[in-house]
């Protein structure tokens, strides 16, 4: 099945909202992690979302190029070809883009989709995230309005954020943010709805204490009830149709009971990155320790070509990503719920 069409992506989100489940959204940075993601979704018969960040795009373009747009395009085009071999729907998304990178990352990618559409081709990406949480909310929404109009003209969904996700990811560090900024208020959620309603389809990353990275149990204090309070405030004023498609950032390491609670409050997408990075690296490290003499030419020896062939250990990383992503599908209740072939 090819990569989802914009209409199929919209139906994916609708199905999750109506069915009380959510899609894992996994960041990739290479063909190996892309293949791990595709395997993970397919093995669980789950549709899903594959993401590229600015740093992931830059990495994928190579050390001499270091171009986040080129790398993102390369990964997306590879996904379009590879996903055709699977029987689940895959949507493509770009992760956190701060205001300072809108002109150098988001707009060129939107323009690439516009070029493809004019040539009769499918969208390159289905959705993009604007992370303007560093701005005052009014300025955040002004920029969000501009980009949502641009996205809507190309059948692209925009993800926005109000409030700040703590921790550090992809070179952006919010670990020093005041605690109150980690929680989006009902008033802010109302402001987001009133600013964006009617301009196009969007998802909303409201924050409820979530933090990027991995932490020991108890270190992160989530308040999923924040999401319910905001949804209730918006729907009380504007009706059931105003319910947000919410996004859970910083999902790695979250206890399953807290994940499941958010599903009842309108979360349809949960980002998982740190845990899948570890799931990739752990079996690779294990291989290196177990095959040290083979991967290293020690004391004049010749090593073992079968051990230092990158395929020997990268396939273990791919399998690790797929396995951990499968756990996320189970946690988010998307397992077995593909709508591929039904839309």
Reported as a pLDDT band with limits 50, 70 and 90, residue 35 is very high
pLDDT at 250 over 60: yes
User: Residue 106's domain spans which residues?
Assistant: 6-332
The answer, yes or no, to whether residue 175 has pLDDT greater than 50, is no
Whether 342 is covered by a domain: the verdict is: no
Selected residue with higher pLDDT from 250 and 119: 119
In whole angstroms, give the CA distance from residue 135 to residue 128: 18
Number of domains in the chain: 1
Region of 153 on the Ramachandran plot (φ > 0 left; ψ -120 to 50 alpha; else beta): alpha
Burial class (CB in 10 A: 0-12, 13-18, 19+), 97: buried
Judge whether 337 lies within some domain. no
| 3 state DSSP class of 115 | helix
- pLDDT at residue 18 greater than cutoff 50: yes
Select from 121, 203, 200, 123 the least CA-distant residue to 162: 203
Q: State residue 212's pLDDT score.
A: 55
CA–CA dist 192, 205 (Å, integer): 11
Supply 274's token pair. 């740190």
338 in a structural domain: no
Please list the helix, strand and coil fractions of the chain in percent, rounded to the nearest 5, in that order: 50, 15, 35
- Give the residues across from 104 on adjacent strands: none
pLDDT of res. 1: 57
pLDDT classification of 268: cutoffs 50, 70, 90 = very high
Q: 3-state DSSP call for residue 285?
A: helix
DSSP calls for 330-343: HHHT-TT---TTT-
CATH number at residue 213: 3.20.20.70
119 part of a folded domain: yes
168 pLDDT tier (thresholds 50, 70, 90): very low
Phi, psi for 309 (deg, rounded to 5): -60, 120
Residue 21 lies in a domain: yes
Given pLDDT bands bounded at 50, 70 and 90, which one contains residue 303? very high
Specify if 341 maps to a domain.
no
| From 38-42, 246-250, 280-284, the region with the lowest mean pLDDT | 246-250
Asked whether the predicted pLDDT for residue 253 surpasses 50, the reply is yes
Q: For residue 227, give the nearest of 243, 251, 239, 250 by alpha carbon.
A: 243
Angle between helices 137-152 and 186-196 (to 10 degrees): 40
Question: Which segment of 71-85, 116-130, 247-261, 327-341 scores lowest on mean pLDDT?
Answer: 247-261
Catalytic residue, chosen from 95, 131, 245, 331, is 95
pLDDT beyond 80 at 157: yes
Residue 95 known to be catalytic: yes
Q: Is residue 340 part of a domain?
A: no
- Global pTM reads 0.92
pLDDT for res 343 = 83
Answer whether 322's CB lies under 8 Å from 279's CB: no
For residue 319, the cross-strand partners are none
Structure tokens at 206: 């409201």
Q: Which of 134-143, 154-163, 178-187 has the lowest mean pLDDT?
A: 178-187
Specify the pLDDT at position 252. Answer: 77
Could you read off the pLDDT of 213-249 as tens digits, one per residue?
554 555 557 889 999 999 999 999 999 999 999 999 9
Positive or negative, the CA dihedral 211, 143, 28, 38 is positive
Q: pLDDT averaged over the chain?
A: 92
CA distance 266 to 224: 11
pLDDT at 209 over 80: yes
13-42 mean pLDDT: 98
Q: How confident is the model at residue 40 (pLDDT cuts 50, 70, 90)?
A: very high
Number of neighbours of residue 45 by Cβ within 10 angstroms: 15
Element housing 295 (H / E): helix 292-295
């Amino acid at each position: 099945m090819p990569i989802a069409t914009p209409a199929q992506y919209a139906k994916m989100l609708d199905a999750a909202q109506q069915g009380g489940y959510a899609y894992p959204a996994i960041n990739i940075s290479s063909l190996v992690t892309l293949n791990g993601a595709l395997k993970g979704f397919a093995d669980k018969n789950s549709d899903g979302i594959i993401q590229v960040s600015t740093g992931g795009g830059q990495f994928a373009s190579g050390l001499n190029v270091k171009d986040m747009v080129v790398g993102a395009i390369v990964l997306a085009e590879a996904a379009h070809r590879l996903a055709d071999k699977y029987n689940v729907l895959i949507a493509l998304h770009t992760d956190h883009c701060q205001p300072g990178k809108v002109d150098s990352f988001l707009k060129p990618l939107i323009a690439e989709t516009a070029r493809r559409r004019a040539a009769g081709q499918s969208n390159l990406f289905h959705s993009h995230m604007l992370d303007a949480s560093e701005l005052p909310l009014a300025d955040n929404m002004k920029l969000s309005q501009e980009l949502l109009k641009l996205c809507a003209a190309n059948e692209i969904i925009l993800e926005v954020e109000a409030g700040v996700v703590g921790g550090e990811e992809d070179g952006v560090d919010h670990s020093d943010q005041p605690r109150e900024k980690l929680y989006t208020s009902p008033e802010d959620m109302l402001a987001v709805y009133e600013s964006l309603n009617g301009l196009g389809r969007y998802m909303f990353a409201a924050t409820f204490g979530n933090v990027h990275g991995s932490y020991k149990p108890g270190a992160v204090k989530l308040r999923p009830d924040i999401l319910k309070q905001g949804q209730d405030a918006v729907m009380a004023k504007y009706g059931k149709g105003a319910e947000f498609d919410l996004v859970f950032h910083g999902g790695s390491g979250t206890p399953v009971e807290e994940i499941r609670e958010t599903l009842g409050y309108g979360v349809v997408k949960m980002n998982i990155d740190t845990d899948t990075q570890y799931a990739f690296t752990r079996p690779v490290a294990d291989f290196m320790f177990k095959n040290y003499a083979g991967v290293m030419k020690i004391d004049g020896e010749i090593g073992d070509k079968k051990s230092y062939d990158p395929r020997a250990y990268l396939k273990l990383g791919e399998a690790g990503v797929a396995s951990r992503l499968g756990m996320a599908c189970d946690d988010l209740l998307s397992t077995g719920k593909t709508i591929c072939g039904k839309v």
